[in-house]
Amino acid sequence: MTSLDSMVITHFEIVKDYIIAITFADKKIQVINFEPVIGVGWMQSLKKREYFNQVFLNDVGNLEWPEGQDFNPEALYDWENFEQAYIDDMTNQVAN
């Protein structure tokens, strides 16, 4: 099991529209396409490219945007196991 210390985000870079490369303390790099998980409900503002590009690393180590949308490092580190949950959440918001 990976320790939480390994999951600390040390650097990130927007590499393309809605795609961020994230480097973690253990040197793991995740390149994540956020487009499938944004655009509905609390994530709606992120669909605006100019707003998406305002992402920053907050005081507790989450990727965050000015209106408070955020992704925690644990989910980003293990994105392949969390992405579908975010997609399902977005789908449920559309259905309701």
Residue 95 C-alpha from the chain's centroid: 23
Q: What is the pLDDT of residue 96?
A: 59
Rounded CA-CA distance 33/20 in Å is 7
Task: Report d(CA 74, CA 3) in Å as an integer.
Answer: 10
Kindly state the tokens that stand for 24: 């973690």
User: CB 13: neighbour CB atoms within 10 A?
Assistant: 11
According to CATH, the topology of domain 4-95 is NE0471 N-terminal domain-like (3.30.2020)
33 SS3 class? strand
pLDDT digits (tens, 9 = 90+) for 55-74: 999 998 899 999 999 999 99
Compute the mean pLDDT over every residue in the chain, rounded to the nearest whole number.
Answer: 91
Low-confidence ranges of the chain (pLDDT < 70): 1-2, 94-96
Q: What is the pLDDT of residue 52?
A: 97
